[in-house]
Amino acid sequence: MPRPSPKNQPVKSARVERTRVAPPTLPRVGSTTWRVLLILLAGLFIYAPVFHGGWLWDDDQEVTNNVVLSDPAALPQIWTGAVGADYFPLKTTVQWLYFRLVERDPTSWHLLNIALHLLNALLVWKVLERLRVPGAWLGGLLFCIHPIMVESVAWVSELKNTLSLPFLLLSFLAWVNFDEKKRESDYYWALGLFLASILCKTSVVMFPFVLLLFCWWKRGRIAWSEILRSAPFFLISLGMGLATVYFQFGRAIGAETIPVGGAISRLATGGVAILFYLYKCVLPFGLIPIYPRWEVDPPPWQMFLAWPVLVAAFIGLWSKRSTWGRHVLFGLGFFLITVLPVLGFVTMSYMRITWVADHFLYLPILGLIGLAAGAAGTLYEKADQHAERTLRWLGLALFAVLVFQSHRYAGVFANEYEMWTYTLKRNSDAWQAHSRLGKVLLDRKEYDQAFHHISESVRLRPDLAETHNNLGALLERKGDTKAALAQLRLAVRLAPTIPIYKVNLGTMLLKGGEYREGEAIYDELLKLEPDNPTFLCNQGVAFHFQGRPEEAIARFRQALEIDPNLKDAKENLALALKKKEDEGTKGDPDGGEEAPKTVGSDGG
C-alpha cells in the first residue's frame, strides 16, 4: 500500500506558546535618572509650602537667638560642651558654619533641611539595593514622601535628624563592604562615619546593636569575632549616651520635674508607644505636632496589653526565622532597637510636652520601609501580566495619596500661627501649643487672644517656668511691670539653670528701675558666658543708671570688642561718653537726656 503523500497527511496545528510580554523599559542609565528625578521632584513638591516658611517652636534657641552661632570664636566652646542644652558638637559646628553664610534667613535654613532629606532618600535606596532588597528604589521613594517625615524636614531645629542620618547610612554601607570584602579601610570608615553621626544626634546610639542584627540576618548567627569588631562602636555609644544623660539632666531638664511616673508607668508608656508608632507608620493620617498625653500615673491595665501582643508577634516570627520570618525580624528589629531610646525608659526633656512625636521616627521607620519595599518588590516579581498592571495602578494611587497628604501637612509648618492653631483644634490640652500661640499673638499685638492662650498654658502647667515667663512678657506689654516681674521671678525659681529666664528677668528689672537686682542677674549670667556681648551691654546699662559711668563705659567697650556690630552697645557707649563729658554741666545725671537701651528691650 503506497505511503500517503505528505500533502495528504492531516495538518497539525502549530502550538502557540503563551509568552509574557515585558513592558517597555528605558535603558538602565535613563531608568535610574528618571527614578532619581521622581524622588527629587516629589520631595520638592511636598516641601514647597515651607520653602519660605518662618521659624518654628524652639528655632529661636537653635538659630535666631543662639549666640553661639553668631560668635565667630565659638568653636572651642561648642566642642568642649561649654554651651548648649545638648552635646551635639558636629551638628552645632555645621550650624555655625552655615550661619556664616546665610545668618538668620529662614529660607536658606529650610532649604538645607530639605536638601539633606532628599540626599537621605537616595542613600536609603542605595542601602536597600546594597542589601539586595527587591524594590529598593521604592524604599527610597517611600522615605522621601512619607508624611511622618514632614515634622523632621519642615522644622529647622530637627537638622540634627536630617544631618545625622547620611553619616549613619554611609557608615552602614561601609560595614556591609567590610563584612563582604574584609578591607580594613571599610571598617575604619564605618567607625568614623558612625562617630560623625552620633556627634550630630545621639538618637543613633543603638546602631551597634543594628550591626549585630545585620550579622544574624545574613548568616543566622552572631560570631564572637563580630562582637569584638562591634566593641568600638559600643564604646562610642556608651560615651555619647552618658554625655547625653548628663546634659539632659544638668541643662535641658535641670531642676524641672518631668511627670513620667515610676517604672510601672514607664513600662506601660513604652508598650503603647511602640504600637502607636507602628500604627502611624502604616497609616500616617491624623498627624499633629503635639499628641495628647496619656494618663500613666497610675496606668490603666489596658495599657499593658501592648506587651503580650508584641511578645506573641515575636514568637510567631521566630518560628519562621528559617524563611521569610528572618527578613521581618530584621526590619522590625531595626525599628524596635532604634526606637527604644525614645520610649520613655530614660527621662528626656521632651516628655514635659507629650510621650510621642513624629520626629522620633526619622531613623526607626527605615526598618519598616525596608520591609514594605521588599514585600512590594517580591510581589511584583512574582506577578503575572494582569497582576503587574493592577500593582502598578495601586502603587500610583498610594504614591498620589502620600504625596498630597505630605504636601498638605507640610503647609501646617509654614508658620507658628498655622501650626499651633492646627494643633489646638486636635489637642486642646496641649499646654505648649497654648503657650507658643499666645506668644505669636502677643507679637501681633492681639493681647486679648494672647492672654487667653497664655492663661490656659499656666492653668494646664503651673509648675513650668515657660508658662510663667510668657505670662510675664504679656503683662509687661500690657504695662503691668510689677506683675510681670513677679511672673519672671517665679520662672527663674522654677528653672534656675536655664539662662533665658534670667535674661528676660534681668531685662525687665532694668526696665522697671531695679538696677541693683538687674546687675546681680547679669553677674550670674556672665559667670556662665563671660564673653556674651548682650550680657555685657545690659550690665553696662545697670551700671549707668546706678551712677557708675566708668564701669558702664568699660562694659560697652567689652561688648563691642566681641561684637563690633552690636547696635545698642554702640549707641549706649556714645551716650555714656557724652554723659561723662557733660557731667560737670548738668545737675541731674539721669534727667532729660536719652537713656541707654538694653539689648532685646523690644522682646518678651
Does the model's pTM come out above 0.75? yes
Percent of residues, the chain, with pLDDT higher than 70 = 90
Rounded Cα–Cα distance for residues 222 and 230 (Å): 11
According to the model, what pLDDT value does residue 204 have?
95
CB-facing half-sphere around the CA of 471: CA atoms within 13 A: 26
According to the model, what pLDDT value does residue 11 have?
43
What domains sit in the chain, N to C, each tagged with a CATH number? 29-412 (no CATH), 512-604 (1.25.40.10)
According to the model, what pLDDT value does residue 552 have?
87
Burial of 152 (0-12, 13-18, 19+ CB in 10 A): buried
Tens-place pLDDT, residues 499-509: 888 999 998 89
Q: How confident is the model at residue 457 (pLDDT cuts 50, 70, 90)?
A: very high
According to the model, what pLDDT value does residue 601 have?
45
Distances (CA, A) of 447 to 432, 452, 472, 501: 18, 9, 13, 21
The least confident of 103-107, 269-273, 325-329, 563-567 is 563-567
Tens-place pLDDT, residues 514-544: 889 988 999 989 888 888 888 999 998 888 8
- CA 178 from centroid of its chain's CA atoms: 31
Rounded Cα–Cα distance for residues 152 and 46 (Å): 13
pLDDT of residue 231 exceeding 90, the answer is yes
The residue behind cell 522682646 is 603
Rounded Cα–Cα distance for residues 293 and 315 (Å): 31
Cβ neighbours of residue 53 under 8 Å, at least 6 residues apart?
Answer: 106, 107, 110, 154, 413, 414, 415
Among 255, 288, 425, which Cα is nearest to 356's?
288
Distances (CA, A) of 356 to 70, 280, 343, 604: 33, 11, 8, 29
If you compute the radius of gyration of the chain from its CA atoms, what whole number of angstroms results?
A: 30
Tens-place pLDDT, residues 119-156: 999 999 999 999 999 999 999 999 999 999 999 999 99
Among 191, 185, 201, which Cα is nearest to 171's?
191
pLDDT of residue 389 exceeding 50, the answer is yes
Tens-place pLDDT, residues 162-203: 999 999 999 999 999 999 999 999 999 999 999 999 999 999
pLDDT of residue 564 exceeding 90, the answer is no
Tens-place pLDDT, residues 346-369: 877 788 888 999 999 999 999 999
Tens-place pLDDT, residues 199-224: 999 999 999 999 999 999 999 999 99
Triad 353, 355, 356: Cα angle to 5°: 105
